[in-house]
């Protein structure tokens, strides 16, 4: 395994920084002495982050990663605030509300792909020239999902967007290896991480909050593992007990992994539909 690089004094762009895992990654990087350009479409979340972090090594940038013009303008804004960019943590993403592939509205379907996939791709492409200018240690972290490893009932479009993100990360790593670039790419496949989004999903599924929270990995712990793996330049990282279980099952038998996922979630996701069809 490569030696861990220090984050101290380096400049990182973090998307989805206003809440959840993104917020925890920002906190972790700041604790390591890094400078952070926090990006989120949620202005209130960014304002709360700025108050908590204090002045000095943090800048905030409100934008939607699906807004191509805003993404194009971001590199100059980060340069104005920090003078350079050493790394990018792609964490911004939105979920699917447990809908069937045929039932999800077209606008929502396109929004999921625009934010989760195209937003990640375009932001990475926009910042890559700045990362290439750094003498060493430039990194790109791309967050995928458990849903990219195994089909999850009610999340077909979300899973497709995250599978596309994972393949983009792996393919980008190959491109950069071939170009003998010093930029490393780490693709993270997280399982259930305790965030407001997971809390809302548990409520939708009728799962007691205490049970869901006990099953999930704390967001701060997940963020620490993501940052550590990225600083080490690891290509692929699985985070969370459930993700590791499905990773192993998928290697042994994709059909078994798919069946376990179905049995775990299907009764909750399809119960209303089954009642209507009966």
Instruction: List the domain range (segments joined by +) for residue 151.
Output: 11-270
Using CA atoms, how far apart are residues 11 and 14, in angstroms rounded to an integer?
Answer: 10
Of 162, 27, 32, 176, nearest to 95 (Cα)? 162
Question: Could you give the number of structural domains in the chain?
Answer: 1
CA distance 201 to 158: 14
Q: Is residue 248 part of a domain?
A: yes
Q: Which of 118, 158, 246, 270 is catalytic?
A: 158
Assigned domain for 49 exists: yes
- Report the predicted TM-score, pTM, of the whole model to 2 decimal places: 0.88
- With contact defined as beta carbons under 8 Å apart, do 26 and 73 qualify? no
**Could you report the per-residue pLDDT of 111-149, keeping only the tens digit for each?**
999 999 999 999 999 999 999 999 877 889 988 888 888
Q: Is 212 inside any structural domain?
A: yes
Q: Does residue 166 lie in a domain region? A: yes
Q: What is residue 201's predicted lDDT score, i.e. its pLDDT?
A: 64
Q: Which pair of tokens denotes residue 229?
A: 């793996």
pLDDT at 176: 95
CATH number, residue 170: 3.40.50.720
Answer yes or no: is 173 within a domain: yes
Helix (H) / strand (E) element for 188: namely: strand 184-190
Contact yes or no for 86/12 (Cβ under 8 A): yes
The tokens for 259 are 């069946």
Q: What is the pLDDT of residue 240?
A: 85
| Closest among 87, 36, 142 to 26, alpha carbons compared | 36
Sequence-ordered alpha helix ranges (H) in 83-140: 106-113, 119-132
Given a contact cutoff of 8 angstroms between Cβ atoms, the answer to whether 131 and 154 are in contact is no
Mean pLDDT, 10 residues at a time, over the chain (278 residues)? 77 94 94 96 93 85 95 97 96 87 92 95 96 88 85 90 94 95 93 70 61 73 93 91 88 91 81 50
Identify the pLDDT of residue 1: 47
> Is residue 152 in a domain?
yes
The pLDDT score that the predictor gives to residue 204 is 62
CA distances from 32 to 26, 48, 111, 187, 197 (A): 10, 20, 34, 21, 26
Buried b (16+ CB within 10 A) or exposed e, 84-119: ebbbbbbbbbbbbebbeeeebeeeebeebbbbbbbb
Identify whether 23 is part of a domain.
Answer: yes
CA distance 205 to 265: 8
3-state secondary structure of 63: coil
Cα separation, 215 vs 219, in Å, equals 12
Residue 158 appears among annotated catalytic residues: yes
Name which of 240, 271, 253 is nearest 153 in CA terms: 271
In a domain, 5, yes or no: no
């Amino acid at each position: 395994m490569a030696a861990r690089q220090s984050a101290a004094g380096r400049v990182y762009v973090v998307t989805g920084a206003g809440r959840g895992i993104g917020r925890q990654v920002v906190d972790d990087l700041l604790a390591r002495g890094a400078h952070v350009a926090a990006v989120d479409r949620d202005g209130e979340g960014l304002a709360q982050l700025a108050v908590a972090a204090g002045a000095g090594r943090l800048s905030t940038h409100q934008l939607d990663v699906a807004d191509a013009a805003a993404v194009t303008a971001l590199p100059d804004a980060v340069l104005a605030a920090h003078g350079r960019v050493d790394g990018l943590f792609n964490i911004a993403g939105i979920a699917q509300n447990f809908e069937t592939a045929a039932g999800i509205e077209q606008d929502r379907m396109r929004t999921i792909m625009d934010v989760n996939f195209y937003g990640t791709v375009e932001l990475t492409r926009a910042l890559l020239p700045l990362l290439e200018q750094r003498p060493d240690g430039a990194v790109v972290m791309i967050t995928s999902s458990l849903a990219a490893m195994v089909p999850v009932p009610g999340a077909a479009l979300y899973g497709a967007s995250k599978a596309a993100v994972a393949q983009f990360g792996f393919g980008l790593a190959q491109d950069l290896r071939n170009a003998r670039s010093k930029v490393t790419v780490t693709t993270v496949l997280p399982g259930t991480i305790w965030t407001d989004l997971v809390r809302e999903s548990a409520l939708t599924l009728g799962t007691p909050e205490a049970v869901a929270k006990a099953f999930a990995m704390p967001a701060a712990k997940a963020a620490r593992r993501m940052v550590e793996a990225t600083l080490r330049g690891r290509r692929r990282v699985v985070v969370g007990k459930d993700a590791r279980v499905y990773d192993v099952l998928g290697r042994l038998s994709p059909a078994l992994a798919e069946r376990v996922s179905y049995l775990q979630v299907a009764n909750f996701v399809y119960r209303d539909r089954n009642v209507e069809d009966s």
